[in-house]
Amino acid sequence: MRGLSRVSVIIVVVILVVVAMGAGYTYLSKPPGSPGMGKMVVVVNPIPRERVEAEARELESFLESRLGLDVELYFPTSVAAIVESLRFGHAQLALGVGSLPAALALYVADVEMLLVEVRDVVIGNESRAAPYYYSYWIVAKDSPYRGLEDLRGKRACFPNELSTSGYIFPMYRLVQLGYIKPPADPKQFFGEVVFAGGYAQCWEALKRGHVDVTIMAGDVPVSLYWEAMNNSRVLEQQGPIPAHVVLVSKSVPKDLRDRIKNALLELNNKPDLMRKFVSAIFVRFEEKGVEEHLKPLMDALEATGLKDKYLRAGG
């Protein structure tokens, strides 16, 4: 069965260490340096620039025309480097930051949340555009298990230990139900725990009978979501889980932060362009406060004890 190896766990731990602690500049393959006056570095999702060279020039030109300064898109080698580049001043703006790295950046870097991403997601049986979604504990349709309480000592599959919807919120649900205690560890409840590397791998493990329960989320590819949900039973759900956000350094003057926000809102008219740099299910940016958007995640991190675990990792 693909993906069910200890290598996945090792990779997760390495990424976790870098996200939480910065760990120098290991993940910056070519640091852009500290921009001087009149220049802003924008860090985007870790994709090879050569794959989106034309779109990158278009986005840089658009932002330069709206902000009146030189804009450089920086393509990191990992999601961890997004947090690192903000923490150490290599970038002033980050697009498409996942909710977990966003929360960690708010803890360790001098940044603020500028906008949130509305995405095409599935909530229950309904497709909708929303800045949040849910995840679900699922078992095979012919499974004898009727509730999570029946799964004590059984086999569970999680995408990875850094997944907000596939790990943090499911752990939060187990804590809420009183099945585990902080610091949350699924091995307190399950007899066997597998980190498979993704939702598709976990669904495959459940289909093949290698595990008894897994997680599915409303922001996965629609084909995967419906295949899994139409061929399983839902035992529990958790959420709302916050979607990606835009972060900006507080070192950027307030008037410039306002111009950046207006420019990004204008990019709502270019959804195809933004899907290259934010997420493939991008619909638009909208304004929300940290308390409103990230509070469910902050509550989950606190209640599970995972906040301290992530922030202490490697230190």
User: Does residue 136 share a domain with residue 231?
Assistant: yes
User: Does residue 205 share a domain with residue 186?
Assistant: yes
Whether residue 166 contacts residue 228, with contact meaning beta carbons closer than 8 Å, is answered with: no
Reduced to 3 states (helix: H, G, I; strand: E, B; else coil), residue 234 is strand
Range of the domain at 182: 132-241
Q: Which strands, in side-by-side order, build the sheet including 132-140?
A: 214-217, 132-140, 232-242
Total domains, the chain:
2
User: Does residue 19 share a domain with residue 116?
Assistant: yes
pLDDT band at 4 (very low <50, low <70, confident <90, very high): very low
Concatenate the DSSP letters of all residues of 144-181 into one string: S--SGGGGTTSEEEES-TT-IIIIIHHHHHHHHTTSS-
Least confident of 120-129, 171-180, 304-313: 304-313
* pLDDT of the residue at 28: 34
Looking at 241, 258, 278, the residue that finishes a domain is 241
Q: What CATH number is given to the structural domain containing 305?
A: 3.40.190.10
User: Does residue 230 share a domain with residue 257?
Assistant: no
The answer to whether residue 127 sits within a structural domain is no
CA distances from residue 20 to 106, 162, 189 in whole angstroms, order as listed = 11, 11, 26
Least confident of 84-88, 175-179, 219-223, 249-253: 84-88
pLDDT band at 22 (very low <50, low <70, confident <90, very high): very low
| In the chain, alpha helices (H) | 6-21, 53-67, 79-87, 99-108, 169-176, 199-207, 222-230, 254-266, 271-277, 290-304, 306-312
The answer to whether residue 1 sits within a structural domain is no
The answer to whether residue 75 sits within a structural domain is yes
Kindly tell me if the per-residue pLDDT of 31 is higher than 70: no
pLDDT: is 170 or 79 the higher one?
170
Give pLDDT tens digits for 113-157.
Answer: 999 999 999 999 999 999 999 999 999 999 999 999 999 999 999
User: Does residue 86 share a domain with residue 41?
Assistant: yes
Give pLDDT tens digits for 185-199.
Answer: 999 999 999 999 999
Kindly tell me if the per-residue pLDDT of 202 is higher than 80: yes
Mean pLDDT to the nearest integer, 72-100: 91
